[in-house]
């Protein structure tokens, strides 16, 4: 791997170590068991789904509707009042009780672009959340060379232990990839995101780095995410606001072509992790989401979750980053914050009567 890339072997540790270390403490296995119950088998993932233009096929489900000349404001112009004090109080209460040692929350109303942030400047270690910008980078590369998505790559040997410099006592890779099998780049993207698969991630980074050694670095810079050189993979370096921008650029299709933004969000909507944000939202409402878990060298655990909740009248982006010593407490906090947020959004949306709607348009 090139030494001039920010996404080097060290930065691969930032991506991969969260899950591997999670398995070691008995966290990651549960995630994969849950994911396996609801995700399609690998061979059922379409190798050619990128050829299906979601715009021409009227499958424009996950992007900002204003891109398609629709306007949520014509449905609901109401703002969410009191959300800042509500989320701040919930965070402070959890910290005082010892449920979390620190936490940050990011909420953005995607119909009005109003946002609320709690502890936005605090830095965390993202763990598997880093797989989202990797997906974005590969789709960006595919804009100029769409054929790469059908390129088949052979899975030969596990590289997770090598990249993480695991010893023999470390748990074996939990990858669902089959030795000696070929996978398209498109399939590997799905497996990386839906299964949070480390081996698929390594294959994709190795492939794109061989194709264009400077490309990942340029995408990092364009997305405003520069990983500090020489950072230890246990260090904290990203804020909740910075990470939330990855979901925003996908929703607004401001970085990728529309069909690739749509594909990225569609893949995120199939993520198998059923706790946190997903468990707090009614199942009939789509959620494009990604979690990350990252045990720290100070015996603390970090658990993060970001998602776009496609509420019919009030779609919103929510991100919650946490640090504490009890993974169940962190999961519970994320679920509680999401539940509180969703209830407030849903209640407010329902209060907008047809008369209010007409008045808003006339004004």
Q: Say how many domains are in the chain.
A: 1
pTM for the model:
0.80
4, part of any domain = no
126, part of any domain = yes
125, part of any domain = yes
| DSSP state letters, 216-269 | HHHHHHHTT--PPTT--TTS--EEHHHHHHHHHHHHTTSSS-HHHHHHHHHHHT
pLDDT of residue 309 exceeding 80: yes
Answer whether 114's CB lies under 8 Å from 80's CB.
Answer: yes
What are the pLDDT digits (tens) for 130-162?
999 999 999 999 999 999 999 999 999 888 767
286, part of any domain = yes
The domain of 274 spans 9-362
2, part of any domain = no
Beta strand extents in the chain (DSSP E only): 102-109, 115-118, 123-124, 152-154, 182-184, 238-239, 287-295, 301-309, 316-324
- For position 261, what pLDDT does the model report? 97
DSSP 8-class letter at 72 = G
- For position 230, what pLDDT does the model report? 53
Structure-block tokens of residue 171: 């748990």
Beta-carbon contacts of 268 under 8 Å, excluding residues fewer than 6 positions away, are 132, 193, 250, 288, 289, 290, 307, 308
pLDDT of residue 243 exceeding 80: yes
Reported confidence tier of residue 362, pLDDT bands at 50, 70, 90: low
3, part of any domain = no
Averaged pLDDT of the chain: 79
Mean pLDDT of 29-34: 30
pLDDT of residue 219 exceeding 50: yes
- For position 46, what pLDDT does the model report? 40
- For position 349, what pLDDT does the model report? 83
Answer whether 159's CB lies under 8 Å from 200's CB.
Answer: no
- For position 87, what pLDDT does the model report? 95
The CATH number linked to 289 is 3.40.710.10
203, part of any domain = yes
- For position 225, what pLDDT does the model report? 75
116, part of any domain = yes
Phi-psi category of residue 119: left, alpha or beta, with phi > 0 → left and psi -120 to 50 → alpha: left
């Amino acid at each position: 791997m090139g030494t001039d890339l920010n996404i080097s072997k060290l930065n691969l540790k930032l991506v991969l170590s969260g899950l591997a270390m999670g398995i070691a403490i008995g966290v990651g296995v549960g995630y994969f068991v849950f994911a396996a119950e609801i995700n399609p088998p690998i061979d059922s993932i379409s190798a050619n789904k990128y050829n299906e233009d979601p715009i021409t096929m009227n499958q424009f489900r996950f992007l900002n509707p204003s891109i398609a000349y629709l306007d949520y404001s014509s449905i609901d112009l109401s703002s969410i009042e009191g959300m800042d004090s509500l989320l701040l109080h919930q965070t402070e209460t959890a910290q005082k009780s010892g449920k979390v040692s620190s936490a940050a929350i990011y909420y953005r109303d995607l119909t009005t672009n109003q946002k609320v942030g709690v502890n936005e400047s605090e830095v965390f270690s993202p763990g598997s959340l880093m797989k989202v910008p990797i997906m974005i980078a590969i789709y960006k590369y595919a804009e100029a060379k769409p054929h790469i998505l059908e390129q088949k790559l052979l899975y030969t040997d596990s590289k997770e232990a090598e990249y993480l410099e695991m010893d023999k006592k470390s748990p074996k890779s939990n990858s669902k990839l089959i030795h000696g099998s070929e996978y398209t780049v498109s399939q590997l993207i799905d497996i990386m995101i839906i299964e949070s698969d480390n081996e698929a991630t390594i294959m994709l980074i190795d492939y794109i780095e061989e194709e264009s050694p400077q490309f990942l670095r340029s995408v990092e810079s364009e997305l405003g995410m520069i990983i500090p050189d020489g950072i230890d993979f246990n260090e904290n370096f990203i804020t909740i606001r910075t990470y939330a921008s990855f979901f925003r650029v996908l929703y607004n299709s401001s970085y990728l072509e529309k069909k690739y933004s749509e594909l990225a969000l569609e893949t995120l909507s199939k993520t198998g992790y059923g706790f946190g944000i997903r468990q707090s939202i009614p199942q009939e409402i789509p959620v494009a989401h990604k979690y990350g878990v990252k045990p720290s060298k100070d015996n603390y655990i970090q658990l993060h979750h970001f998602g776009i909740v496609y509420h019919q009248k009030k779609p919103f982006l929510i991100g919650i980053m946490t640090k504490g010593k009890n993974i169940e407490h962190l999961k519970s906090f994320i679920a509680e914050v999401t539940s509180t947020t969703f209830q407030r959004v849903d209640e407010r949306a329902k209060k907008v009567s047809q008369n209010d709607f007409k008045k808003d348009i006339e004004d």
